[in-house]
Structure formats: structure tokens, C-alpha cells
Amino acid sequence: MTISGYGIPRRLDLPGGLFIGTLNSSANQPSPALWLVLAFLMTLGGLSPRGASAQSVNPASTTAATKGTATAVLAGGCFWGVDGVFKHVKGVTNVVSGYAGGSAANAQYEIVSTGTTGHAESVEITYDPSVVSYQQLLKVFFLVAHDPTELNFQGPDEGTQYRSVIFYTDDHQKLIANDYIAELNKEKVFSSPIVTEVVPLKNFYPAEGYHQNFLELHPNNPYIVANDLPKLEELKRHAFAVTPDVTPRGASPAALWQITDAATGRTGNVGLISSVSQPFCSTCNRTRLTADGQLRSCLFATEETDLRALLRNGVDDAGIEAAWRTAMWGKPAGHGINAPNFVQPQRSMSAIGG
């Protein structure tokens, strides 16, 4: 993943280092304004699960401002793997494997396995909404934990007990889930229709003890190795950590942050420009990426390249880099800010500097 230089990050999908690992830090997190910019980057490219295209939809809502606990209940095939994935998401405090959709009388593995109980193998996720939002959990659910296009099966497991379901606990969760699915469909993230059900949660019944925390306790189990460990690698591969870069920057108005790719350990910088000055503009050597995906040679440039359109048309990394280099090479002296015919674009002046 290229961050610095002329390239752009195409796989920043899980904000704030959501994958639990040594890179995570709750201290010195970016400002809300920076998160808005990073959130856009997350939509440029992204996770490519089974059947998904190269683009990725990022839920719009942010995390809650205050600490607390909330619960989400999701079903996406065998609960061993889904449990294991969400236990590695920062902000998740507990995950329980169990059954939802049927009655207490038949909430037993042997009976549920017949596919006649109405139950789906599910997980109950307890999380801190000040660290991770419900929308972000849904993103992990759809793009990492399972394939939402498989009807009544997941991989090698067949039956209605392996169906894809979001069990919402209130109308807010219902609205978020339906809106997110609609956005995924609109953006054609998956090559096949999404079959995920969105239904109210009536009851959740914990599964037998030997099913709990199965992935962590049995990482060498052949089923886990073949079907679930790759999901953890996918989650880890798209996680990153963001920390402030305190390197002195002279007169630059940019707030600089360092991004670390959890998979490779590579780092790069992102600068948030919230204001500009003429002295800075006269020596600036940065390109600009606007909030709606337009690449400019300067924050004040009037000519733009639509990067999202390029990505959706299948342009590869080399093509994106070429577009970025073209923008850089096209920078006029002083960027034209003092030219008599300069017209300030009618859009937000916040931008990414890479």
C-alpha cells in the first residue's frame, strides 16, 4: 500500500487500527476533521471478499462520543469463524456464539443442525460504541466475516442455520442495516445479489461451551485453517494505525499524521490542510485530493481528475499513480493563485496532502 510520494492509499478500510494488535493506540487519535478525510480514502478501494468488487462502501456514521456498551447480533455461517473475526476487532469487549431465530426448546446444536428449527448460528457482540460503531461492525461482517451473497450456506456448510442475518435490537440498528445494504447494492460491491435478512431479534441463546472461543482454542483445526484463519489475515491486512507526526514543519499549515500499515509495517504521512497562506502556496509541492474524489495539482486548481471514476473503470495502481504524477507535473509556479483569472472552486477547502 503506497501512502507517501505520488501514490495514494487504496486499502485503508478499518479506521483507527480496528484490528487488535501492537499498532493500536487510543492516545493522540486524529481530530474528527481528519477522520472525515480518512473516511473518504476508505471508499476509494478496499476489501475484496468472495464475489466483491475492488471498491468498498464506508458507512457514514461515526462512533459515539462517550464510552458505554452496546450489543449486535449477527449470523454469517459457522459461528466459529464469525466469533473469531469479531474478537479481533478493537472496541469489541465480548463475543458469544449461539443461536437466534428459533425457540428456546430447540436451541441445541444437534437440533439446530437439522436446519428445521428456524435458528441461525449467530454471534452476540458486545462493544464500546465510543471505539467502534455499529456501522463499522457491519462493514467487517459484510466484507470480512462472511459472504452475504450465499443463500442458506457459507462455504462448505449448507442449511438454513448458516444463512446470513442481521438481528436488529432496535429501529436505529434496523435503519443502519437497511441503508448499508442499499448502499452496497447501489455501488455494486458484490457481483451477486445480497441475500442477508434484516429481522428483529427475539431471543439469543448461547451455544454449548465447547463452541465458545473455538478459533482461539483450536487454531490448528483443519476447518479453521481452511475457512477462518484467512479471514483474520484479511482483517489484519486492511487495518492501520494513525498517530500524530510531531516533526517540525516550518510555516506549513498542514497537520501531519503518520499512517502505519499493520500488514507490512510500512508507514507514510497524511497532511490535513484546513487553511492556506500565500507563502506556503508559493513553495508547496503537494497535490490535493478533494472530499468527493477529485485529484488536483493544487488546492485551488480548477482542473480535476476523477479518481473514483478511474477506479470504478478498473484502472490499476499504475494508472492511478500515472494520474497523480500528471497532476504533480502540471503544477504552475505559485499554482496560479495570484493569476488575474483565478476563480476559487465552490467546494470545501479541506484536502489531503500526500
- For position 89, which CATH number holds? 3.30.1060.10
| Contact predicate 19/89, CB 8 Å | yes
Q: Are residues 274 and 343 in the same domain?
A: yes
78 included as an active-site residue: yes
Domain boundary among 203, 237, 271: 237
Biggest alpha carbon–alpha carbon distance for the chain:
79
Written as one letter, the residue type at 194 is: I
Q: What is the pTM of this model?
A: 0.60
Q: How far apart are the first and last CA of the chain?
A: 13
What is the full per-residue pLDDT of the chain (354 aa) written as tens digits?
A: 222 222 222 222 344 445 554 333 333 444 444 444 444 444 333 334 445 543 444 444 445 555 689 999 999 999 999 999 999 988 899 999 999 999 999 999 999 999 999 999 999 999 998 888 898 899 999 999 999 999 999 999 999 999 999 999 999 999 999 999 999 998 888 999 999 999 999 999 999 999 999 999 999 999 999 999 999 988 877 666 566 666 665 545 455 666 666 556 667 766 555 444 444 455 566 667 776 777 877 666 667 788 888 888 888 888 888 888 777 766 655 555 555 555 554 444 444 443
Domain boundary among 182, 214, 237: 237
What is the total count of domains within the chain? Answer: 2
Q: What is the torsion angle, in degrees rounded to the nearest 10, for the CA atoms of residue 286, residue 289, residue 290 and residue 296? A: 60
Domain boundary among 221, 237, 253: 237
Burial of 157 (0-12, 13-18, 19+ CB in 10 A): middle
Structural domain of 131: 59-237
Residue 151 CB neighbour total at 10 angstroms: 13
Strand partners of residue 243: 258
Q: Are residues 102 and 167 in the same domain?
A: yes
Residues 6+ apart with CB under 8 A from 13: 42, 46, 47, 56, 58, 139, 143, 238, 239
Cell of 62: 461515526
Q: Which of 78, 281, 284, 298 is catalytic?
A: 78
Residue 6 CB neighbour total at 10 angstroms: 17
| Contact predicate 139/59, CB 8 Å | yes
Q: What per-residue confidence (pLDDT) applies to 69? A: 93
Q: Provide the 8-state DSSP code for 174.
A: H
Q: What per-residue confidence (pLDDT) applies to 222? A: 96
Q: Are residues 226 and 254 in the same domain?
A: no
Q: What per-residue confidence (pLDDT) applies to 269? A: 67
Cell of 35: 477522520
